[in-house]
Amino acid sequence: MQWWSDFREDFASNKDWNSIIWNNKEIRVNGSPVFYKNYFDSDFFYVSDLLFNLNNTESFDVIGKKIRKTNFLVWTGLRYSVPNYLRNNIIIATPSTTSPILAIDNQVFDVMEKKSKQYYSFLISKKAQLPSAASKLQKEFNFSLDQLKQLFILPHKVTLEPYVRAFQYKLLNSILYTNSKLYKIGYSQHDLCTFCKSYPEKLNHLLYSCSYSKAFWGDFELFWFSGTQKTINLTQQDVIVGVLSRSCPLLNYFLLVARIYLWDCRRNQIHPTINGFKAKILIKYETENYIGRVNKKMEFLRVKWANFQFS
Ligand SMILES: [Zn+2]
């Protein structure tokens, strides 16, 4: 019963039961929920039946004719026991005691018909929510909800290596500690960029708009061309979160490793170079091959690397 109650509370789009007067834990007379059979038999189900648009006396005049064997004290006691936030709930339907049906996302969810798989997907959906940083990303790059979801799935699609996936997760959640952030919390003497030492080190600056990073991405585009014979023009969005407009697992993987490389350069206080990145990508290639062999995912790697030639 508890499970059922939680499920209904979490997923139902219409919570009419909150407004049912009887046996409602929110509506207590002398500390206990109540059930008045004579009221129930006279079609009093919902708080809206208690006529909160009228005062006690006026409303009692109206209902006195409908309900037998009641008095003013019982009536006003019941009215007083309804918390304010429930008083304005207007529900017209008659409660059904026979069909356990509820509306989820404004569609009928017949609890008798549904299979455990459908319950499961609801329960999972509650756990798999976008993190709070998602709305910031959405504003910054004007993403649709669908693109946001893709964004968080992308690292899982392009690499087998947990460390690489985790890095992008940190980036998307804005929990990489740039000097700008460290300065704010008193952990750094200044907020200046590690590379150029001229601008505040925000993530966008460090990874994209810094002159050193710009130069690096220019070389990256040439390196990509030499490996694939394909020209690319990276935008800020490509650099920070990846390419969503088309499927290009290897390019997205390279972009991801390049972000990690820039972050390493920051930590080691050196300027990024394309040769440094090439060395990094070779190490990552070895690591991924190892994971691929252990987890029997070599086919994934073969397809991913198929169109790239190291020069
Ligand atoms: Zn800079």
Contacts of 180 (CB under 8 A, 6+ apart): 191, 200, 201, 202
Q: How far is the CA of 263 from the centre of ligand 1 (A)?
A: 12
Q: How far is the CA of 103 from the centre of ligand 1 (A)?
A: 53
> Does 214 score more than 70 pLDDT?
yes
Q: How far apart are CA 136 and CA 67, in angstroms?
A: 57
H-only helix segments in the chain: 2-11, 37-41, 56-63, 72-80, 84-87, 116-127, 133-141, 145-158, 162-172, 179-184, 203-204, 211-228, 236-240, 249-268, 274-294, 298-305
> Does 106 score more than 90 pLDDT?
no
Q: How far is the CA of 197 from the centre of ligand 1 (A)?
A: 6
Q: Do residues 71 and 174 both lie within one domain?
A: no
The answer to whether residue 281 is domain-embedded is yes
Q: Which domain holds residue 13?
A: 2-124
Q: CB-based burial of residue 204 (10 Å sphere; 0-12 exposed, 13-18 middle, 19+ buried)?
A: middle
Q: Do residues 230 and 262 both lie within one domain?
A: yes
The answer to whether residue 227 is domain-embedded is yes
Q: Do residues 142 and 112 both lie within one domain?
A: no
Contacts of 225 (CB under 8 A, 6+ apart): 231, 232
Choose one of 63, 96, 124: the last residue of a domain. 124
* DSSP secondary structure letters along 33-71: E---HHHHHTT--BGGGG-TTS-HHHHHHHHTTT-SS--
Q: How far apart are CA 246 and CA 154, in angstroms?
A: 12
Are 116 and 93 in contact, with CB atoms under 8 Å apart? no
The answer to whether residue 310 is domain-embedded is no
Q: Do residues 160 and 282 both lie within one domain?
A: yes
Crossing angle of helices 72-80 and 56-63, in 10° steps, is 120
Give the model confidence (pLDDT) of 189-207 as tens digits: 999 999 999 999 999 999 9
Q: How far is the CA of 277 from the centre of ligand 1 (A)?
A: 18
Dihedrals φ, ψ of 213, to 5°? -70, -40
Q: Total domain count for the chain?
A: 2
DSSP state, residue 207:
I
Average pLDDT on 300-306 reads 90
The answer to whether residue 272 is domain-embedded is yes
**Position of tokens 């009928």?**
108
Task: Name the 3-class secondary structure at 147.
Answer: helix
Q: How far is the CA of 209 from the centre of ligand 1 (A)?
A: 7
Q: Do residues 87 and 174 both lie within one domain?
A: no
Q: How far apart are CA 179 and CA 202, in angstroms?
A: 7
Choose one of 78, 99, 124: the last residue of a domain. 124
Q: How far is the CA of 199 from the centre of ligand 1 (A)?
A: 6
Q: Do residues 110 and 143 both lie within one domain?
A: no
In the chain the first and final C-alpha atoms are separated, in Å, by 65
Q: Do residues 77 and 194 both lie within one domain?
A: no
Taking alpha carbons only, the member of 173, 143, 138 closest to residue 155 is 173
**Position of tokens 């947990």?**
162
Give the model confidence (pLDDT) of 170-179 as tens digits: 999 988 999 9
Q: Do residues 117 and 206 both lie within one domain?
A: no
Q: How far is the CA of 201 from the centre of ligand 1 (A)?
A: 7
The answer to whether residue 110 is domain-embedded is yes
Between 16-30, 105-119, 187-201, 212-226, the lowest mean confidence (pLDDT) is in 105-119
Q: Do residues 156 and 234 both lie within one domain?
A: yes
Are 27 and 34 in contact, with CB atoms under 8 Å apart? yes
Q: How far is the CA of 216 from the centre of ligand 1 (A)?
A: 12
CA 139 to chain centre: 15
**Position of tokens 């009215």?**
79
Q: How far is the CA of 187 from the centre of ligand 1 (A)?
A: 19
Give the model confidence (pLDDT) of 46-88 as tens digits: 898 899 999 999 999 989 888 888 899 999 999 999 998 888 8
Q: How far is the CA of 44 from the centre of ligand 1 (A)?
A: 70
Q: How far is the CA of 12 from the centre of ligand 1 (A)?
A: 50
Q: Do residues 271 and 155 both lie within one domain?
A: yes
Average pLDDT on 32-36 reads 94
Q: How far apart are CA 158 and CA 247, in angstroms?
A: 10
Q: How far is the CA of 203 from the centre of ligand 1 (A)?
A: 10
Choose one of 92, 124, 156: the last residue of a domain. 124
Q: How far is the CA of 114 from the centre of ligand 1 (A)?
A: 56
Instruction: Kindly report the pTM of this predicted structure.
Output: 0.65
Q: How far is the CA of 241 from the centre of ligand 1 (A)?
A: 19
Q: Please state, as a whole number, how many other Cβ atoms lie within 10 Å of the Cβ of residue 293.
A: 11
Q: How far is the CA of 202 from the centre of ligand 1 (A)?
A: 9
Residue 170 zone, left/alpha/beta (φ > 0; ψ -120 to 50; rest) = alpha
Q: How far is the CA of 272 from the centre of ligand 1 (A)?
A: 11
Please, what is the average pLDDT of the chain? 90
The answer to whether residue 94 is domain-embedded is yes
Q: Do residues 34 and 116 both lie within one domain?
A: yes
The answer to whether residue 252 is domain-embedded is yes
Q: Please state, as a whole number, how many other Cβ atoms lie within 10 Å of the Cβ of residue 159.
A: 25
The answer to whether residue 143 is domain-embedded is yes
Q: Do residues 114 and 150 both lie within one domain?
A: no
Are 216 and 273 in contact, with CB atoms under 8 Å apart? yes
